[in-house]
A and B are shown apart, each in its own frame.
Chain A
């Protein structure tokens, strides 16, 4: 029954419009001045609202997250997978660290539901240093980048001087709640103002936890443990 409601509404409006434009024309004619005054008042109201929103834009628009596409989302994966860390934008990097290491490195994560990606690049030499780049988590909702609102997981580096082994632990992502309300112009009105035009007006979201890029000594023994996905970079 609820599916029929839009059709019933359209039929109702059709009948009402038919009545207004034919049978009730005399009412509008008698009150011609008032009809036009009311209409001009309505247009004036719309223009005032437009003016206020244009002024408010500086306030509202300031918190507007950047527009991004799914391509941007996967672009970083491609760059990291190819070992092209230098091409990753600085704004996507959270922090960089260098640690001394001897023989082995164990990596584990506490993120049971969403394992972290660890990109591993072997250096040509055994310089005894692990260069770690931590990449920011990503959250895209309806083509808007909300990544800045995500907290970054804490990383714990420990090393045992006696055994010569080191351990990297990625802590759990702190609980985060994001609520927002947005406004979009009608789908057909956006036909020529959105590039590239989206195939539909449905909502979509994409999320990725914190990723880590490691440059390790040539012969370092690396072991991935709980909830870690190691991606070897050639």
Chain B
């Protein structure tokens, strides 16, 4: 019995702000990853040429922000995984915390970081456009409209959250037992190759297609939200009984 009973939501809010200030490496690493991706994108383009009836010659090259976006997803995955490590967990004990508030504030931090990551990944598009335009002198590019910009940011955010939630789940499993490392490698790397060898490719295709082939944005967001919620819930439940400092 205390005079002031702290509410979980207030504790989570405070811890989220604390973690936001205490983990500058999350955003520092995002900056480094996207800067590297941008440098790689400058000289990475697809393209080709065509000739028709020996009088028409067309040569074209296409630049994209594919690399910054993929690198951002990789960053979200790895950041979430590393957020479950002992070093980060111990940081949280500087403040009065419970397992639940620790997880919830970390998830909130990941959602915020995913939004920033997704937003900056989309914004690398105009930066690359500008640099390509300055380098090449002319450029064919889709005009920026809010009607395309907002769905792109939402898509990038959703994919980043999805990757972060999977990373958080795998990280939690690894914290439970190091034996999960080889199991995860087998499930994520070895099995797909074996399945490929026995022509059971649709399994992997279906997993990717479940999100990637979705045409309805609202349905896609629901799929991502449900998958992330399930991943985060499993992470919380499985690590709830862990020792305070392992």
A20 close to B28 (CB less than 8 A): yes
Residues of A within 8 A of B65 (CB): 185-186, 189
Instruction: Give 1 or 0 for each of B40-60: 1 = CB within 8 Å of chain A CB.
Output: 000001111010111111111
- How many of chain A's residues have a CB under 8 angstroms from any CB in B? 75
Within A1-53, which residues are at the interface with B (CB < 8 Å)? 10, 13-14, 16-18, 20-22, 24-25, 28-29, 31-32, 35-36, 38-39, 42-43, 45-47, 49-50, 52-53
Q: Which of B24, B69, B126, B140 contacts A49 (CB 8 A)?
A: B126
Within B97-153, which residues are at the interface with A (CB < 8 Å)? 116, 120-130, 132-133, 136, 138-144, 147-148, 151-152
A92 to chain B, nearest CB (A): 18
Choose among B56, B66, B75, B124 the residue with the greatest number of A CB atoms under 10 Å from its CB.
B56
Q: A61-B143, A63-B138 are in contact. Are A13 and B74 (CB under 8 A)?
A: yes
The answer to whether A182 has its CB under 8 Å from any CB of chain B is yes
The answer to whether A156 has its CB under 8 Å from any CB of chain B is no
Residues of B within 8 A of A186 (CB): 64-66, 68-70, 121, 125
Within B192-227, which residues are at the interface with A (CB < 8 Å)? 212, 214-215, 217, 220
Q: Which of B27, B34, B69, B139 contacts A36 (CB 8 A)?
A: B27
Give the interface residue-count category, chain B: 35 or more
Residues of A within 8 A of B29 (CB): 17, 20-21
Q: Interface residues, chain A, CB within 8 Å of chain B?
A: 10, 13-14, 16-18, 20-22, 24-25, 28-29, 31-32, 35-36, 38-39, 42-43, 45-47, 49-50, 52-54, 56-57, 60-61, 63-65, 111-114, 139, 141-142, 144, 146, 150, 172-193, 197, 201-203, 205, 207, 209
What 7 A-B pairs are tightest by C-beta distance, nearest first?
A114-B53, A113-B53, A46-B123, A35-B24, A49-B127, A186-B69, A28-B25
Given contacts A46-B126, A47-B123, A185-B142, 6 further A-B contacts (CB under 8 A): A13-B33, A17-B74, A150-B56, A183-B129, A205-B50, A207-B52
Q: Interface residues, chain B, CB within 8 Å of chain A?
A: 21-36, 45-48, 50, 52-66, 68-71, 74-75, 78-79, 82, 85, 87, 116, 120-130, 132-133, 136, 138-144, 147-148, 151-152, 155-156, 159, 212, 214-215, 217, 220
